[in-house]
Amino acid sequence: MISRKILLPVVLIALAAGSCVTGKKYNTLNDRSYMLMAERDSLKAENIWLSMSNRELTTKLAQLTEETARLKTELEKVQSDLTQSRDEYGRLTTRYEELQKAQAEMAAGRAEETQRLLADLRQTQTELQQREDLMRDLEMNLDTKKAALEELTYELERRNVRLAELEKMLDAQQKAVKALKDKVSDALFGFENNGLTVTTKNGQVYVSMDDKLLFRTGSYEIDANGRAALRKLGALLEKNTDVTVTIEGHTDDVPYRAAPGQQILDNWDLSVKRSTTVIRVLTQDTHINPKRLVASGRSEYMPVDPNKTPDARQKNRRTEIILTPDLTALYKILERY
């Protein structure tokens, strides 16, 4: 049967009713994210496997079709031989009857010929019986092959339907992601490539904003330019209510040194604080449902550039806003199988 795992995007549904997610709830959401990513990967793998399985079934179907044709040819030959044997049997029977009549008239001298004809008749009967048995075996074998062929044909058609549905939904998902990316790029026109990039990955739209646009080093206060970009994005997200929003804060690997009296302890705290600050700006003057939002901090542990140069560290100090379209329709199709 079919493996159930085609690569799918991660749907993160925030369970927090407020604007901030506790560590335990974040871990739960993060685990759920990885689980759904694994399920999506498995679905893509299943999609590939289904394509390979269809090719294998098609090959088997061609082989069975060829075997069926061969058996039909053999059956026709056996039937032809059987007809000839029956004709021969009839001829011998007629001759035997004639000999019996001649024997009655001629009395002696024909016994040897009669015995020979009787032996020929018995041999012909034996051959006829063997050919009839062979024909029955061929007919039974042909019926078995036909049944196997029909079963494979049905299975191939069923798998083709499933594969077509999956491909249709994956295509719809890709189109939805592209449409969302285009909307985000249009909304953030003028900011893109000026400290902000919009990309797609794993069926999601990533809006990455570096620290030049949002935060000063070691700070979680957003400057005016960054606020303007976030408000434009918030207005777009307010209209697209079927999109889940995850904000991930990232820092470099330079240890955070807190000033006396500060509540920020380290890079973990700083990355989470930055993500919650972004959420507050996104929801300011909008009616975005807080259940759609997830705030998380990655600290320095997911760098885009592992080098220790100033340029690499500047790239790693970023905030990523991950937009995930609703995949409910795709999951409903998968639940039917």
Distance, in Å, from the CA atom of 304 to the CA atom of 252, rounded to the nearest integer, reads 10
pLDDT in tens, 1-24: 444 444 444 334 443 444 444 677
pLDDT at 137: 87
Mean pLDDT of all residues in 74-90? 87
Give the chain's domains with CATH numbers: 45-179 (1.10.287), 184-335 (3.30.1330.60)
pLDDT digits (tens, 9 = 90+) for 252-277: 999 988 777 778 889 999 999 999 99
Chain segment 55-66, per-residue pLDDT in tens: 888 898 888 898
Taking residues 163-172, what's their average pLDDT? 81
According to the model, what pLDDT value does residue 174 have?
A: 87
pLDDT of residue 72 exceeding 50, the answer is: yes
Q: Is the pLDDT of residue 200 over 90?
A: yes
What average pLDDT does the segment 193-210 reach?
91
Quote the mean pLDDT of the chain: 84
The pTM of the full predicted model, rounded to 2 decimals, is: 0.55
